[in-house]
Chains A and B, each alone.
Chain A
Amino acid sequence: MQNLSELLRRLIAAEVEFVLVDGFAAVAHGVTLVTRDVDICCRFTEANLTRIQKAFADLHPVHRSRPDLPLDLTPEQCASLKNLYLKTDLGVVDCLGEILGAGSFDEVAQHGVEVDLPGGKCRVLDLETLIRAKEAMGRDHDLAAVRQLRAIKERLERRNTQASG
């Protein structure tokens, strides 16, 4: 059973410094395409990576490319990692140090919008930057999401124009 929402809730509860990006961020904005993983852009410091590890500690987290390798980060690994691809009992989590089309964590964080979720506040990549990132990735499903994101953006702009007019 996959539970991406619970994975996200745990990241928030563990006070991981991150911005929700890619497919699940698109879902948060209203895209109807189903996504299979949680992608976050996060700060790759030992403290932050340790928070991620603790958040999923009871979910048997493993490195996705090496399922035989449980997640047990050392300070040396934390210092050298650029991305962290995890598989847990509740689903897949990709932790990325930078986002194509959006930049490093600090740049991505500037384009994060705060959203109130039951577990607390969560930063989600804003519509415009998400469109730019998904266009940069350019896979078929990214471009399908871009079409919906553009339609959502147009609707919001129209509504804002009507509200101010």
Chain B
Amino acid sequence: MTDRTSNHEGALRETTSACGSVEPRAGAGDIDISLLEESLRLSPWERMLANDDALNFAESLRAAMERRNAKS
């Protein structure tokens, strides 16, 4: 249990090994591997904060579009 836990904790702290190329490219199916690699370089907490930023940005964008649509 301890081994598994520490192993996964390590996984959560994963930073991709300094793999050279991060050119945007499609991975399996619709996955953009470069975005995934970028995310994996962050700590779990940094990923959560990035989610909050993206969520708030999306909401402000949606509100702006609604205001625009209401005018037209």
Please give the residue numbers on chain A whose beta carbons come within 8 Å of chain B beta carbons, in ascending order. Answer: 1-5, 8, 24, 27-32, 34-36, 113-118, 124, 126-127, 144, 147-148, 150-152, 155-156, 159-160, 162
Which residues on B sit within 8 Å (CB–CB) of A8? Answer: 48
Interface centre among A8, A32, A150, by most chain B C-beta atoms within 10 angstroms, is A32
Nearest chain B CB to A43 CB, angstrom units? 19
| Complex contact B9–A31 (CB within 8 A) | no
The DSSP consensus for interface residues of chain B is helix
A157 to chain B: closest residue by CB: B11
Residue of A nearest to B27 (CB): A151
Question: Chain B: how many interface residues by the 8 Å CB criterion?
Answer: 35
- A2-B56 in contact (CB<8A): yes
Q: Is the beta-carbon distance between A2 and B31 smaller than 8 angstroms?
A: no
A51: min CB distance to chain B, Å: 21
Q: How far is the CA of A160 from the CA of B14 in the complex (A)?
A: 11
Q: Which of B7, B27, B28, B52 contacts A2 (CB 8 A)?
A: B52
